[in-house]
Amino acid sequence: MQKKLTIILENLAGGGAERNLTILMNHLAEADWGIDLVLVKKEGKFLENLSPKIKVHGLHARNLIFSLLPLIKYIKRNQPPIVISSLDLMNLITIIAVRIAGVGTKSIIRVANSISKQVRTPIKKRLEKLLLTLIYPLADQIVIVSKDAAFDLSKYANIPLEKIKVIYNPVISPDLIKKTQDIPSHPWFENQSIPVILAVGRLNQQKNFSRLIRVFRKVRDQMETRLLILGEGEEREKLNDLIRLLGLEKDVDMHGFVANPYSYLSNASVFALSSNYEGLPTVLIEALACGCPVVSVDCPSGPSEILDKGKYGFLVPINDEELFAKRIIETLKGIKKEVPEAWLEQFTSDISGKEYIKTIEAVGTPTPELMTLLFCYLLSVIICLLLL
């Protein structure tokens, strides 16, 4: 019989979690798994990247909070043997829906960030911690994307480390390697005499592109270069104001989302990561796979694991903008660190897929008491509303 798996997400928007799960789903579908993808809203840039073997279902909920009842109904009706969800609020809703449905479905939640570092108001942060402490242990298995992020979650939510499984993101795939051969659709790559510094990610507080733009100003003062940022987000206007303030309008381009960032990574002179925190920054692995030299802040968590404590790319203290600029300049002048293929193997879709399959096959089902379920159900609804 064909093995079945259901993936639950809010949508397939253009973020790292969505990109990684798209790669994982496609890999498992090609390995003859029957994959059902359940989306709160059937939308997102990565829908067009899905294998035709994957069945996509929409819950047609107004938003994430209102997806709880439709998800319970879906689970009761379809009785999926195993579900995997990702991202914080979706994880909480999935755990509750699985337990309320009561049809024997097993739940695996995937955590993609250093949870304690996520920025919320003080009251929401306390509620978040309470919610994770109460609800996350009800999942059959917790998967997290890096060792440092696992330690962070264990300490933050008082979850035993043995309950948490570290599986690196399925980043490097045959499709990625193929797409590096494409020509990036940007005029800056037509003139290779001017080096291009590349950054990729959501334009939000976590990625801290303000830091990178300030660092770029220091680099630009010493040599001719350009900064290209790929991604969209709520800080676009703020970042544009900073670009104008520093007089960088001709040298910085926030180009928006692109379907194939790998062609850009394979042609850029250096990739720079400026985040306040991460889980396991996918784009850092993609840069290495594309042969692009890396300069990254040593934020929690992921960069140090990916770069083997600076062996395969420059790591700089998170608040040392002078050293950040210096390392970028050194890289642009030709100082690079070689990355062996054997190191990158652990981040491939094949290795990650095998780890997920082992985890899926080994997962067990707890049987929490009814009163615990009811309490968590009521608590989750209240706190989810507060977290909006």
- The residues pairing with 156 across neighbouring beta strands, listed in sequence order, are none
Architecture per CATH, domain 174-346, reads as 3-Layer(aba) Sandwich (3.40)
Judge if 4-170+350-387 and 174-346 fold alike in CATH terms: yes
pLDDT at 291: 96
pLDDT at 371: 52
Report the alpha-carbon distance of residue 74 to residue 68 in Å, rounded.
Answer: 10
Closest residue by Cα to residue 200 from 300, 298, 274: 274
Answer whether 275's CB lies under 8 Å from 207's CB: yes
pLDDT at 32: 92
pLDDT at 370: 54
pLDDT at 369: 52
Report the alpha-carbon distance of residue 322 to residue 297 in Å, rounded.
Answer: 12
Q: Angle, to 10 degrees, between the axis of helix 209-220 and the axis of helix 236-245?
A: 20
Architecture per CATH, domain 4-170+350-387, reads as 3-Layer(aba) Sandwich (3.40)
Closest residue by Cα to residue 82 from 354, 359, 353: 359
pLDDT in tens, 211-248: 999 999 999 999 999 999 999 999 999 999 999 999 99
Do you know the residue count of the chain? 388
| List of the chain residues with pLDDT < 70 | 1, 14, 364-388
> What's the pTM?
0.86
- The residues pairing with 166 across neighbouring beta strands, listed in sequence order, are 144
How do the domains of the chain map onto residue ranges? 4-170+350-387, 174-346
pLDDT at 276: 95
Strands (E), 152-303: 164-166, 196-200, 226-230, 252-256, 270-273, 294-297
- The residues pairing with 271 across neighbouring beta strands, listed in sequence order, are 198, 294
pLDDT at 386: 54
